[in-house]
Amino acid sequence: MRPVYTFIFILLLLAVASITVAVNIDTRMHRYDGDRWDTAVEYLNECSAAAHVQSIRYESYAERADTDKARGTARLFRALAHSERVHERICAHASRLFNGEYTPPTVMVKVNTPTRANIEKSLVYERRRLDVSAGLAAKRAIDAGNRYIARLMIWIDGSNRRHIEFLEKLSDSNSDDDIKYGVCPNCGNMYESRNCDVYCPFCQTHSSEFAVFGD
């Protein structure tokens, strides 16, 4: 074999080997790998269920805010509910990638408290959730070698911090702020629409795709 042909043949072998390694790495991050991921699947299903319940609660709070003529607060609660539904969806999808099964829980939420109290209850919930779980799920996923799930958990932690930020701002205000909110459809991150990034810094989704909550 001539030297030039030998060189070309070696290059082709290296290219094929590189493609094979890349495919194997991507597949390994998105497939079920026996008992190694059982705990991860259980946690993903728990996250999905918790987000489902909280989304229903926020929708109920929004309806009460409508009754209380607190339009800005109702808008925030609906944005929060949408963010929770995104979290539910991405966790449920990740669970299925690892052969998990997720069924949304059946819940009924009845709200008898005024809007101002619902804001404070929401803050208590969001702060407690962050205090208990922030960073833990991502660390477990990284330690297990699953950066795909770790990325999702980092997205969710980050957007939950935004939940607290907006609720605190509303709690500290003496008026019902007339603010529009944007929610990223791929990670659940939230923004004031007037201060929206062009791209979501978490998942790089363009702001034109965000769900907007406002009149």
For residue range 104-131, list pLDDT tens digits in order.
999 888 888 999 999 999 999 999 998 8
Provide the H-helix boundaries in 68-179.
Answer: 71-97, 115-133, 136-143, 147-172
- pLDDT band for 85, please (50, 70, 90 cuts): very high
User: To the nearest whole number, what is the mean pLDDT of the chain?
Assistant: 84
Half-sphere exposure of 78 (CA within 13 A, CB side): 20
Domain ranges of the chain: 34-174
The residues facing 183 across adjacent strands are: 190, 211
Residue 6 main-chain phi, psi, to 5 deg: -60, -40
Residue 171 main-chain phi, psi, to 5 deg: -65, -35
Question: Taking the domain 34-174, which CATH number applies?
Answer: 1.20.1260.10
Q: Rounded to whole angstroms, how far apart are CA atoms 63 and 69? A: 10
Torsion angle, alpha carbons of 53, 169, 177, 184, to 10: -50
For residue range 165-215, list pLDDT tens digits in order.
999 999 988 777 778 999 999 999 999 888 888 999 999 999 999 999 986
Two structure tokens written together for 158: 């980050």
Q: Rounded to whole angstroms, how far apart are CA atoms 76 and 74? A: 5
- pLDDT band for 37, please (50, 70, 90 cuts): low
pTM of the model: 0.81
Length of the chain, in residues: 215
